[in-house]
Structure 1
Amino acid sequence: MASSLPLDRGTLAKTLAGFLVAAVVLALFVLGVGLDQVTRALAEADPRWLAVGCLSTAACLALWGKAWQVVLRVAGIDVAYRRLVVTYFAATFANYVTPLGQAGGEPFIAYVLSRDTDATYEESLASVVTADLLNLLPFFSFSAVGLSVLLLQSSLPAAAKGLAQGLLAMALGVPALVVVGWRFRERVRGGLLRLAEPVAGLTDRLSVEGIAARIDGLYEAFGRIAQDRVALVEAVAFAYLGWVFFALPLYFAGQTLGFASITPLLVLFVVPASTLAGLTPSPGGLGGVEAALVALLVALTGLTLAQGLAAALVYRVMSYWFALALGGLAALAVVARS
Structure 2
Amino acid sequence: MLRRTILLFLMGMALIFVILYLVDPMRVWDEMQNLSVKFLMIILSIQILIMLLSAIKWRVILMNSSVSIKDIIPATLVGYLVNNITPIGLAGGEPVRAYILSRACGIRLSRAASSVIVDLFLEIFPIFALILISITLIILGGEAESIAIILGLVGFGLFILSAGIITLTTDKNLILIITKKLLNLLERIPLMRSYSKKKMMDADGVSVRFESAMREYMGNVRVLVLGTFVSIIGWVLKFLRIYLIFIAIGYRISITSLIIVETLVLALSFIPILPGALGTWEGSSIALFMLFGVDSVIATTVTIIDRFFFYVFPSILGIIASLYCGVNLSKIIK
What TM-score range do you get, normalising by the shorter chain?
Answer: 0.7 to 0.9
Partner of 1:5: none
Amino acid at match of 2:6: L
CA contact (8 A) 2:114 2:210 kept: yes
Cα separation, partners in 2 of 1:138 and 1:207, compared to 1, 3 Å: closer
Partner of 1:27: 17
How far residue 191 of structure 1 moved from its aligned partner, in angstroms, is 5.2
Given candidates 185, 188, 194, the residue that maps to 2:174 is 188
CA distance in 2, matches of 1:67, 1:17: 34
Q: How many residues align?
A: 317
Deviation digits for residues 48-107 of structure 1, max 9, x if unmatched? 323322221211111111110111223xx2222233223222222222222326144322
Given candidates 114, 117, 121, the residue that maps to 2:102 is 114
Given candidates 79, 85, 93, the residue that maps to 2:81 is 93
Deviation digits for residues 135-177 of structure 1, max 9, x if unmatched? 111122233234423432x112356345423333234332233
Does residue 311 of the first structure (1) align with residue 302 of the second (2)?
yes
Does residue 329 of the first structure (1) align with residue 320 of the second (2)?
yes
Partner of 2:8: 18
Partner of 1:295: 287
How far residue 331 of structure 1 moved from its aligned partner, in angstroms, is 2.2
Amino acid at match of 1:46: S
Partner of 2:165: 178
CA contact (8 A) 1:22 1:287 kept: yes
1:41-52 aligned at under 5 Å gives the runs: 41-52=31-42
Partner of 2:267: 276
Amino acid at match of 1:241: I
Other structure's SS at 2:90 match? helix
Amino acid at match of 1:240: I
Given candidates 59, 63, 73, the residue that maps to 1:69 is 59
Amino acid at match of 2:99: Y
Does residue 168 of the first structure (1) align with residue 155 of the second (2)?
yes
CA contact (8 A) 2:8 2:274 kept: yes
Cα separation, partners in 2 of 1:58 and 1:208, compared to 1, 3 Å: closer
CA distance in 1, matches of 2:234, 2:224: 15
CA contact (8 A) 1:159 1:296 kept: no
Does residue 80 of the first structure (1) align with residue 68 of the second (2)?
yes
CA contact (8 A) 2:79 2:94 kept: no
Does residue 254 of the first structure (1) align with residue 246 of the second (2)?
yes
The unaligned stretches of length 5 or more in structure 2 are 188-193, 328-334
Given candidates 222, 233, 252, the residue that maps to 2:225 is 233
Cα separation, partners in 2 of 1:151 and 1:212, compared to 1, 3 Å: same
How far residue 286 of structure 1 moved from its aligned partner, in angstroms, is 0.6
- Percent identity between the aligned chains? 18
CA distance in 2, matches of 1:280, 1:37: 32
CA contact (8 A) 1:95 1:102 kept: yes
Relative to structure 2, which stretch is displaced further, 117-126 or 42-51?
42-51
CA distance in 1, matches of 2:305, 2:149: 25
How far residue 293 of structure 1 moved from its aligned partner, in angstroms, is 0.8
Cα separation, partners in 2 of 1:327 and 1:17, compared to 1, 3 Å: same
- TM-score of the superposed pair, with normalisation by structure 2: 0.83
- TM-score of the superposed pair, with normalisation by structure 1: 0.82
CA distance in 2, matches of 1:195, 1:144: 32
CA distance in 1, matches of 2:314, 2:175: 36
CA distance in 2, matches of 1:234, 1:84: 17
CA distance in 2, matches of 1:90, 1:182: 28
Cα separation, partners in 2 of 1:163 and 1:325, compared to 1, 3 Å: farther
How far residue 262 of structure 1 moved from its aligned partner, in angstroms, is 4.7
Amino acid at match of 2:174: V
CA distance in 2, matches of 1:47, 1:155: 39
CA distance in 2, matches of 1:209, 1:280: 30
Other structure's SS at 1:284 match? helix
Amino acid at match of 1:315: D
CA distance in 2, matches of 1:174, 1:294: 29
